[in-house]
């Protein structure tokens, strides 16, 4: 296994979003090389894959994978393949969720969605390819004999998350237009977004050589963080400013979508997000100072205004 470098160690003491900004920067070059390695014979499909992955937002999931690897004492690069794998699954899910037969969205983060930029068949195939590429990423790394021992556990964690994410999308579609309870809403989010956040943390931790106790602590962290992230997202939709959000504030209410503020009230929803963040932070305690970047990330995600 590679040794932790001086810059890994520096990051452990870093200011708020350094884990995230390093993740964003590293991910860009990693992605370019990865897509070149897996380029297919059709240029248009290659373009669609790059397009879908470029419009990538904050790279929270790769940051979680790298942060979890550092938290258990592993070196940053050990989690490269985990970062790629979870972000490929995330990218595929966005492309398919935007399709006409699903949410039928024309824009994502201000850019035309994949099927608008290309066409529906290309977007469908790009999503399908990205799901396959996620598992290619995991097994690319395992050609390194040292990385093989936890390969089965990574495949298991990622495939179960990919399965549960679809189940969550299905629950979400089925809940549209009917009133649901707050525990049902939490179940939807645990499947739809929580599963992949847990997988990001777990894959990174496995790559870093985590013990069972470390994995259990990080699972708790990821579970609380995933829900906190979603509650805060709902809160932002109510209190946020349209220009900052990059989407219409109040869009959830306009679509009569179930949200935490709608079900609980705004202040209780804000309190719930804060409480879940505290739970996430508490779960990190046994990991010591190595988990500081993950703690900082959790605080940052709750404080964000977009």
Interface with its own copies includes 148 (CB under 8 A)?
A: yes
Looking at beta carbons only, is 160 or 274 nearer to its own copies? 160
Residues 190-229 that bind its own copies (CB under 8 A): 191
Minimum separation from the CB atom of position 97 to its own copies (A): 10
Residue 163 lies near its own copies (rule: CB under 8 A): yes
287 Cβ contact list (under 8 Å, min separation 6): 71, 72, 214, 217, 218
128 binds its own copies (CB under 8 A): yes
Contact between 117 and its own copies (CB under 8 A)? no
Span of 53-61, 128-136, 237-245, 248-256 interacting with its own copies by CB under 8 A: 128-136
Residue 101 touches its own copies, criterion: CB under 8 A: yes
Q: How far apart are CA 52 and CA 92, in angstroms?
A: 8
Of 56, 67, 74, 127, the one binding its own copies (CB under 8 A) is 127
The count of chain residues that interact with its own copies, using the rule CB under 8 A, is 53
CA-based torsion, 112, 118, 124, 125: positive or negative: negative
270-289 positions binding its own copies, by CB under 8 A:
none
> Among 69, 136, 199, 297, which residue sits at the site for its own copies (rule: CB under 8 A)?
136
Among 106, 120, 241, 275, binds its own copies (CB under 8 A): 120
Where does residue 98 rank: exposed (0-12), middle (13-18), buried (19+ CB within 10 A)?
Answer: buried
Ordered DSSP codes for 240-284 = S-HHHHTS-TTHHHHTT---HHHHH-HHHHHHHHHHHHHHHHHHH
Which lies closer to its own copies via its Cβ, residue 88 or residue 269?
88
The CA distance from 105 to 266, in Å, is: 27
156 vs 279 by CB, closer to its own copies: 156
Q: Does 239 bind its own copies (CB under 8 A)?
A: no
CA dihedral 118, 124, 126, 128 (to 10 degrees): 180
Asked if 33 is part of the footprint of its own copies (rule: CB under 8 A), the reply reads: no
What are the φ/ψ torsions at residue 107 (nearest 5 degrees)?
A: -125, 145
Q: Which of 10, 16, 32, 42 binds its own copies (CB under 8 A)?
A: 42
Q: Residue 139, interface with its own copies (CB under 8 A)? A: yes
Tokens of 19: 């884990």
Q: Are strands 111-112 and 107-108 parallel, antiparallel or unpaired?
A: antiparallel
Dist CA 122 CA 132 (whole Å): 15
Strands (E), the chain: 107-108, 111-112
Rounded to whole angstroms, the maximal C-alpha distance in the chain is 54
Which of 70, 125, 225, 227 binds its own copies (CB under 8 A)? It is 125
Q: Is 133 in the site for its own copies (CB under 8 A)?
A: yes
Q: Which residues pair with 111 in a beta bridge?
A: 108
The residues that touch its own copies, with contacts defined as CB under 8 A, are 38, 40-42, 44-45, 92, 96, 99, 101-102, 119-122, 124-125, 127-129, 131-136, 138-140, 142-143, 148-149, 151-153, 155-156, 158-160, 162-164, 166-167, 169-171, 173-174, 187, 191
């Amino acid at each position: 296994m590679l040794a932790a470098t001086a810059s890994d160690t520096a990051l452990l003491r870093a200011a708020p979003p350094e884990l995230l900004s390093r993740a964003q920067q590293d991910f860009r070059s990693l992605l370019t090389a990865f897509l070149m390695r897996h380029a297919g014979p059709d240029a248009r499909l290659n373009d669609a894959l790059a397009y879908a992955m470029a419009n990538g937002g904050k790279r929270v999931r790769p940051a979680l994978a790298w942060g979890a690897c550092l938290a258990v004492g592993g070196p940053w690069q050990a989690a490269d393949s985990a970062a790629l794998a979870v972000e490929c699954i995330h990218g595929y899910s966005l492309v398919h969720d935007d399709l006409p037969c699903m949410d039928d969205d024309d824009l994502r983060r201000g850019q035309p969605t994949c099927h608008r930029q290309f066409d529906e068949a290309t977007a469908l195939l790009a999503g399908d390819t990205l799901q396959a590429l996620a598992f290619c990423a995991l097994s690319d790394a395992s050609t390194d004999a040292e990385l093989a021992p936890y390969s089965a556990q990574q495949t298991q964690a990622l495939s179960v998350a990919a399965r549960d994410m679809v189940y969550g999308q299905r629950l979400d579609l089925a809940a549209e237009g009917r009133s649901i309870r707050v525990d049902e809403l939490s179940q939807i989010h645990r499947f739809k977004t929580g599963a992949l956040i847990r997988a990001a943390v777990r894959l990174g931790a496995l790559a870093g050589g985590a013990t069972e106790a470390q994995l259990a602590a990080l699972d708790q962290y990821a579970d609380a963080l995933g829900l906190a992230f979603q509650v805060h997202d709902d809160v932002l939709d109510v209190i946020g400013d349209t220009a900052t959000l990059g989407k219409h504030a109040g869009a959830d209410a306009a679509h009569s979508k179930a949200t935490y503020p709608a079900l609980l009230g705004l202040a209780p929803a804000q309190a719930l997000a804060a409480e879940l963040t505290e739970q996430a932070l508490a779960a990190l305690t046994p990991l010591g100072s190595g988990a500081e970047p993950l703690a900082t990330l959790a605080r940052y995600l709750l404080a964000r205004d977009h």
